[in-house]
Amino acid sequence: MPSLDPKISTEIEMSAVPEPDLKQPDLYINRELSLLEFNRRVLEQAKDSATPLLERLRFLCISSTNLDEFFEIRVAGLKQKAALGSVHAGPDNMTPQDVLNVVAAKAHSLVAEQYRVLNELLIPELAAQNIHFIRRGDWTDEESKWMQEYFQQEVFPLLSPIGLDPAHPFPRILNKSLNFIVALQGKDAFGRNSGMAVIQAPRALPRIIRIPGDIAKVGYRFVFLSSIIHSYVNELFPGMTVKGCYQFRATRNSELFVDAEEVDDLLIAMEGELAARRYGDTVRVEMADNCPEDLALYLQGRFRLQPEDLYMVDGPVNINRLLSVADLVDRPDLVYPSFTPGIPPKLENAGSIFEVLRKQNILLHHPYESFLPVVEFVRQAARDPKVLAIKQTLYRTDSGSVIVDALVDAAKKGKEVTVVIELRARFDEEANINLATRLQEAGAHVVYGVVGFKTHAKMILVIRREGKRLRNYVHLGTGNYHSRTARVYTDYGLMSSDEVLGEDVHKVFWQLTSLGRFSESKKMLQSPFTLHKTLLSYVDREIKYQQQGGNGHIIVKVNALVEPQIIQSLYRASMAGVKIDLIVRGMCAVRPGVPGISENITVRSIIGRFLEHPRVYYFHNNGDPHVFCASADWIERNFFRRVEVAFPVEPKKLRDRIISDLELNLRDNCQAWILGRDGVYTRLTPALEAEAVSAQGTLLLRNAG
């Protein structure tokens, strides 16, 4: 029998090899554990001596705030599922209880490291810079006198200590509030033996107080409110003996629940849920580590927690309160140098933004470039008599927003103003309810998106009469219309008068307000309709080009990547030889470097001065790149349970600029962390004699004014 042609033989052998199971759990990193690892990377910034000292303190506080939200949302959700007996596992095959078991160990380790960084690194280094946190035993006589006066005048009148007995049951503890459990001895005013009391620190008082300069004499001296209450707690229980006073804080489930089938008015339903959030089920209690075991067990029982839910800490139970210190200390040498965001030259001296946009698109990259053109876009639209209508989505914005002021002004002038406000923007619900009320009172049309689908898209549409026609002007962004976060979050924004893009944006607004069916957008991709399926087709297209010419390449920059179908498509592309570079700031379920499956995938996370926030999708497309900016991370909810948009950046100059930014991110060897096959991130450092590349530093020098 003649031998087979070697080429045919190889093809037969390859075809005989079964395709690996891309759903096997080992190919997926658990999303909650990945999110915890992101918090650890943030904490590492607090240890970095190359970072200004007060900024290191900020990073410590951010890691603490992030961990709070992790417990309020992620751990709370896992506990609910476990309590209901759920054994439903994610792609990683871990049940809710499996995840909780690992989370407990890792979270305890992370908290211990946070306090080690505070006590062993930051406090001593701050003291060396004459910034002190004064313990009670170290107060001078003059400081003690001032503290006592402060307690008597500012603290004592606001306190309501509660002795615990059948007539004074354990009080409802507000989410993340500062409290004290007090051990007492002796009889109260009514002759009864009382063993315990609870003190709730007034929310109106600052948690950190700067001692006045004429008392402190030199440098900055701070005292914790908890220290002042500890020092004078005896005055709250006259005739009794205080055996001990220990601070504690409870973290509660903060996810809101609104039944879409039972709600007639979403705003009213949300207002009711907001009040309940403050007293949701407790998921964690932080306590002073010197608290006696009997009191700790008492609190554990009161909050119906397991031993692993108690976190004994060596310091203030709320580290993120230290964030105020950076604002109270005037030491420019201990913070990042200030900078002035740049203005695109075409806009710098332009009288009318609309005249500029008729000729060209404008791409903004915040915070390197100013957010002011976006504000001015809405301001000019409000003032311009030729502008007939303004439509905008608002997910998060700052209090006293200038953009909202302009929308109110436009509505009062009789322009058609339509605002889609997402009332369920987590932790901004109350602010958004107030915002909706203000806009409605000004005469704007306000809708709350679509029940069951959060509106997360970032869009502004301005309709202007020009001669005999109406022209659409749009702003599309990857981040919120929030001038304060635009100084610290990196995001892209596109301003354009492109006719097709304007029509696409108009369709989305019609859809959000009328709930009618409209034809698919021509340029934009939208979830929950076209975004997911189109991205999958683009990945398949890169596989085809790789097989034909060997040049398949995908670059994705997002905050999170965990959606299983997308991950499986990336694995198939990697197996076909497509080069895949993933820049994922936070949680990432992709496991790179698995032989035969994800060898062509790299995953990196960049943590630096600014919070990396843009969503950018790049497909090589056989040398004719497709680049999209978007509001959507690659998470199930963003594809299937949210209204998101991805918009193409088509002008070659702007497209190439974004590609250059992505390539700069991929060269970063100062603030980049590389994800290994084992799920562990390793920080890059420049090799000996190699050029040090910081993407954020380079962009700051290149763009800032």
Q: Would you state the structure tokens that stand for residue 559, as one six-digit string?
A: 């905050």
Confirm if 553 and 620 have CB atoms less than 8 A apart: yes
Q: Which of 230, 365, 366, 456 is catalytic?
A: 456
197: left (phi over 0), alpha (psi -120 to 50) or beta: beta
At 328, the amino acid letter reads L
Q: How many CB atoms lie within 10 A of CB 350?
A: 17
Confirm if 695 and 665 have CB atoms less than 8 A apart: yes
- Nearest Cα residue to 632 out of 705, 553, 527: 527
Q: How many helices (H) and strands (E) does the chain have?
A: 23, 27
Confirm if 250 and 285 have CB atoms less than 8 A apart: yes
What's the rounded Cα separation, in Å, for the pair 136 and 91? 51
Q: If 0-12 CB within 10 Å is exposed, 13-18 middle and 19+ buried, where does residue 15 land? A: exposed
User: Which residues 6+ apart lie within 8 Å of 77 measured at CB?
Assistant: 255
Q: Would you state the structure tokens that stand for residue 247, as one six-digit string?
A: 């601070």
What's the rounded Cα separation, in Å, for the pair 520 and 522? 6
What's the rounded Cα separation, in Å, for the pair 596 and 323? 47
Q: Would you state the structure tokens that stand for residue 498, as one six-digit string?
A: 């492109």
The residues facing 605 across adjacent strands are 673
Does the annotation count 456 as an active-site position? yes
Own/partner long-range contacts of 432-441 (Cβ < 8 Å, ≥24 apart): 432/394, 432/396, 433/267, 433/270, 433/271, 433/274, 435/394, 435/397, 435/404, 436/267, 438/404, 438/408, 439/404, 439/407, 439/408, 439/411
Q: If 0-12 CB within 10 Å is exposed, 13-18 middle and 19+ buried, where does residue 259 land? A: exposed
Active site residues: 456
